[in-house]
Amino acid sequence: MKQDIKQLNLRAEFYTPEGCHITELSNTPDDPGLSIARARVEPGVTTRWHRLLGISERYYIIQGAGIMEVGELPPQKVTAGDVVLIPPSCRQRITNTGANDLIFLAICTPRFCNDVYEDIDNRATAK
């Protein structure tokens, strides 16, 4: 890893077929141990069931309210300040139950790469 200070650039946000908007905050090959992304889920949206192969993930909820479904746990309410621990290959999805955007950090170890993402949802692809 190289020393750096990265500024938040919301213009770099992109929409994913999973059903959320992502801004990569730190995800580079020269820092393979970790990645951090800002995720934004619009009101009423449920992301697709998915899992990350070989990647541990943590959600740190920054803003909003939702229902988190992870592994075999019962669905649980999440709000600002909550942390969700998601082991490798564990199924997951989140629903925004609030009137405003649900925003959280997705922190992955090792870093997220597209080839570790597995969609396991039987719904048609989100638009």
- Express each pLDDT in 55-96 by its tens digit: 999 999 999 999 999 999 999 999 999 999 999 999 999 999
State the pLDDT confidence band at 1, using cuts at 50, 70 and 90: confident
Averaged confidence pLDDT in the chain: 95
Within a 10 A sphere around the Cβ of 75, how many other Cβ atoms?
13
What total number of domains does the chain contain? 1
Task: Tell me whether residue 80 is in a domain.
Answer: yes
Q: In this structure, is residue 3 part of a structural domain?
A: no
User: Considering only CA atoms, which of 101, 99, 94 is closest in space to residue 63?
Assistant: 101
Cis, peptide link before residue 110, omega less than 30° from 0: yes
Average pLDDT over residues 97-120: 97
CATH code for position 52: 2.60.120.10
The answer to the question of residue 9 being in a domain is no
> Taking 60 as the threshold, does the pLDDT of residue 103 lie above it?
yes
Residue 22 backbone phi and psi in degrees, to 5? -125, 135
Note down the domain range covering 111. 16-117
Give percent above pLDDT 90 in the chain: 93
pLDDT (0 to 100) of residue 125: 62
> Could you tell me if residue 49 is inside a domain?
yes
pTM: 0.93
124 located within any domain = no
